Homo-oligomer: A and B are copies of this chain.
Amino acid sequence: MQYRTIGEVSRDSGLTVRTLRHYDEIGLLTPSARSDAGYRLYSDDDIARLQQVRSLQSMGLSLAAIGSVLDRGLAVRDSLEQLLSATDEQIRRQSALRSRIAGVIALLDQHDAATSGAMLQLIEELAKVEKHYTKEQLDTLAERAADLGDAGMRAAETQWTDLIDRVRTARESGIDPASPQVRAMATEWQSLIDAFTGGDPGIRASLGQVWQQNDDVAGFNAAEIRDLAGYLHSADS
């Protein structure tokens, strides 16, 4: 059993020296020995523990959580499940965000605001549209349609066209609907629907009927939409 200095461990592990010192500071990985000069000396066991830390960390566990798991024998499974739902939530939020950003970009393109003077106006309008979105998640569908106005509707429309394009591409490329990318799109799809229905199951149901019973909805080909939805849905369970 031989000891390694912090620099050697750093080179072997790919972690920085500062990181290893940090782990020591917070008590996550304290080298089991020190040289006379105070150098940190890592044993083989220390290295093994470092491997464990790294694999747990690569799954997004916080250093504190890793410490709990390794030292106090906390349930890995529970930590991971918690992390899983947290990650799901993150993905949902990021996907919704993506749609919003794409929509706003489209909105900016439409208005073609090159001058910085017009830009400030646009940003203010943006605020209004945003405001409507959040407020109206509490209101009914009818009121929403009336209040949204032209710009907002067109923004939402762009989000849909954008997403539909990506799903169609994925589908035609034969990508497995269970793959992460497609699952992300499914999440995005759902969040766009939710944004429109405000989470009201009744509204969602009637919306579904609309798509089932028509061939053309607001300029979209309903059959294709049903088709793509089925594709996204096929890996749900």
**Contact A181:B126 (CB < 8 A) given known A76-B119, A84-B101, A105-B81:** no
Known: A2-B234, A87-B98, A88-B98. A123 touches B56 (CB 8 A): yes
- Measured CB to CB, the closest approach of chain B to A211, in angstroms, equals 11
Interface of chain A, main secondary structure: helix
Please tell me which stretch of A7-15, A25-33, A143-151, A167-175 contacts chain B, meaning at least 4 of its Cβ atoms lie within 8 angstroms of it: A7-15
Query: Is A90 in contact with B94, judged by CB distance below 8 angstroms?
Result: yes
Contacts of A14 in B (CB 8 A): 201-202, 204-205
Task: Give the number of copies in the complex.
Answer: 2
Of A51, A73, A208, chain B has the most CB atoms within 10 Å of the CB of: A51
A-side interface size class:
35 or more
B60 touches A101 (CB 8 A): yes
Residues of chain B lying within 8 A (CB to CB) of residue A48 = 124
A126 with B55: CB separation less than 8 A: yes
Least Cβ–Cβ distance between A51 and chain B, in angstroms: 4
The one of B58, B73, B80 in contact with A119, judged by C-beta atoms closer than 8 angstroms, is B73
**Which residues from B are CB-within-8-Å of A180?**
92, 95-96, 98-99
Q: Determine the distance from Cα of A98 to Cα of B86 in the docked complex, in whole angstroms.
A: 10
**Residue pair B59, A84 in contact (C-beta under 8 Å):** no
A102 to B77, CA, bound (A): 10
